[in-house]
């Protein structure tokens, strides 16, 4: 079991039962809002340039999103990142797992909905492994969301976001990788190299 995901569940239930949105309870540091449209569009253009210049198929994009679930995850994990996806740069898409399951999302839309973006090269990545990882992620589109996996009861056919990102490299895992039963988005850099962080403003 993972205490932080139990906290996520507790926060979700609490919010639903209380009839109160997280706005009133999480506080300003735990919530982020998108900037004005003009600034946001310019920001998205700049971030897309970086991702296209440095990204490869099979890299991870780990973000801080604007959705209520993102706020809850940041609260529960005490980390600044809330969601992860597998990059399919050739198709300008990401493959991600959301509440309705594994889906394809246009890369620009994914980036546009992010407050912060990290581009991470997984430690198992090479050209062949990355291409295979991106292809497998695409093959898993339509799989269900792994709610039980959030508390360490993972499934072989369902995935939460960071679980999906690790699953597509499972053939390359070894005992030395020490992958936990529940993988927090904010810890994914531990199994890869951060090539670019939008907070650096480079």
* Contacts for 167 with CB less than 8 Å, ≥ 6 apart: 140, 159
What is the Cα–Cα distance from 39 to 186, expressed in whole angstroms? 26
Model confidence over 93-113: pLDDT tens digits?
999 999 999 999 999 999 999
Residue 114 has pLDDT above 50, yes or no: yes
Q: What pLDDT is attached to residue 149?
A: 93
Q: What pLDDT is attached to residue 147?
A: 93
Neighbours of 73 (CB within 10 A): 26
CB 150 within 8 A of CB 2: yes
Q: What pLDDT is attached to residue 200?
A: 80
196: tokens are: 């670019």
Q: In the β-sheet with 60-65, what is the strand arrangement from edge to edge?
A: 101-106, 93-98, 83-88, 60-65, 114-122, 192-197
> Mean pLDDT for the chain?
88
Residue among 182, 104, 184 nearest 140 (CA): 104
Q: What pLDDT is attached to residue 16?
A: 38
Residue 9 has pLDDT above 90, yes or no: no
38 burial type by CB count under 10 A (0-12 exposed, 13-18 middle, 19+ buried) = exposed
Q: What pLDDT is attached to residue 93?
A: 98
Reported pTM: 0.86
Residue 41 has pLDDT above 90, yes or no: yes
Set out the domains of the chain in order of their start, with CATH numbers.
3-30+38-200 (3.90.1720)
Find tokens 């679980």 and name the residue: 163
Residue 116 DSSP SS3? strand
- Name the pLDDT band for 28 (thresholds 50, 70, 90): very low
Q: What pLDDT is attached to residue 8?
A: 55
CB 190 within 8 A of CB 183: no
- Name the pLDDT band for 187 (thresholds 50, 70, 90): very high
- Name the pLDDT band for 134 (thresholds 50, 70, 90): very high
Q: What is the mean pLDDT of residues 70-80?
A: 90
């Amino acid at each position: 079991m993972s205490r932080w995901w139990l906290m996520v569940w507790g926060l979700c239930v609490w919010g639903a039962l209380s009839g109160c949105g997280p706005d009133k309870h999480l506080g300003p540091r735990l919530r982020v809002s998108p900037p004005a449209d003009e600034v946001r569009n310019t920001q998205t253009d700049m971030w897309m340039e970086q991702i296209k210049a440095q990204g490869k198929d099979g890299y991870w994009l780990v973000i801080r999103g604007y959705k209520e679930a993102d706020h809850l995850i940041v609260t529960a994990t005490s980390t600044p990142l809330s969601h992860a996806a597998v990059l399919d740069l050739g198709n300008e898409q990401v493959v991600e797992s959301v509440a309705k399951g594994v889906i394809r999302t246009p890369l620009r839309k994914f980036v546009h909905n992010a407050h912060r973006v990290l581009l991470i090269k997984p430690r198992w990545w090479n050209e062949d492994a990355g291409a295979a990882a991106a292809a497998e992620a695409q093959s898993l589109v339509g799989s269900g969301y792994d709610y039980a996996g959030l508390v360490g009861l993972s499934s072989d056919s369902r995935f939460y976001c960071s679980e999906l990102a690790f699953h597509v490299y499972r053939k390359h895992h070894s005992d030395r990788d020490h992958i936990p039963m529940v993988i927090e988005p904010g810890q994914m850099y531990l199994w890869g190299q951060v090539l670019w962080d939008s907070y650096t403003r480079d």
